[in-house]
Structure 1
Amino acid sequence: MKKRKIPMRRDILTNEMRPKKALVRIVRNSDGEISLDPTGKKPGRGAYVSLDPVAVEQAKAKHLLDKTFGQRIDAEFYDELYAYVDHQKARQELFGDQG
């Protein structure tokens, strides 16, 4: 059986290459709105973040997403991102890889 290629993406918080399924996409649409993209299919400029709550906290402190997208991002978005990442990591630990 032919081995499938695993798509890799760069985590903007840790600057490491990881499998796409182990990351969550954040997207800025044409109106400049920033949102989570769990499906990975929303149109716009995307960036990938690992499922690491500690890295998200550090990103909030250093405003890393502000630099990546070139605009000010509210603290509420960082909180939403932290909650999502924390939930997904707990889910992954509980159920294992579901890929």
Structure 2
Amino acid sequence: MKAKKIPLRMCTGCMEMKPKKELIRVVKSPEGEVSVDLTGKKSGRGAYICKSAECFEKAVKTKRLSRNLDVSIDENIFNKLKEEIENE
């Protein structure tokens, strides 16, 4: 049997390539609405972040998450993301 290809995505915090399943996706919908996508299937522009507090802090501090999605991100989204990371 052929080995199944594992999709890799770059974390916006540490800038490392990691398997997609290990990351949390933040998505900007075509309407411009930003949300945390735990399923990884919502349509729109996605940015990924590790499930670690260090990566989250780095992404927030450098505003990389906002830059990758090309939109200012609401504080509620950051709070929801932080909550998800802490629950892991």
**Is the pair's TM-score, using the shorter chain for normalization, greater than 0.5?**
yes
Higher relative contact order (CA 8 A, sep 6+): 2
Pairwise CA distance, 1:32: 0.6
Match of 2:22 in 1: 22
Q: Do 2:12 and 2:55's aligned partners in 1 also have CA atoms closer than 8 Å?
A: no
Deviations 1:21-51 (A, max 9, x none): 1101110001111001111110001111111
Quote the RMSD (CA, aligned, Å). 1.4
**What's the TM-score, normalizing by structure 1?**
0.79
For 1:54-93, list aligned pairs within 5 A.
Answer: 54-88=54-88
Seq. identity, %: 38
Equivalent pairs counted in the alignment come to 88
**TM-score normalised by the chain length of structure 2:** 0.87
* SS across alignment from 1:25: strand
Structure 1 unaligned blocks of 5 or more: 89-99
Structure 1 position 77, deviation (Å): 1.3
The offset of 1:68, in angstroms, is 1.3
Task: Tell me which amino acid in the other structure corresponds to 1:5.
Answer: K
Gaps of 5+ in 2: none
Q: Per-residue deviation at 1:76?
A: 2.1
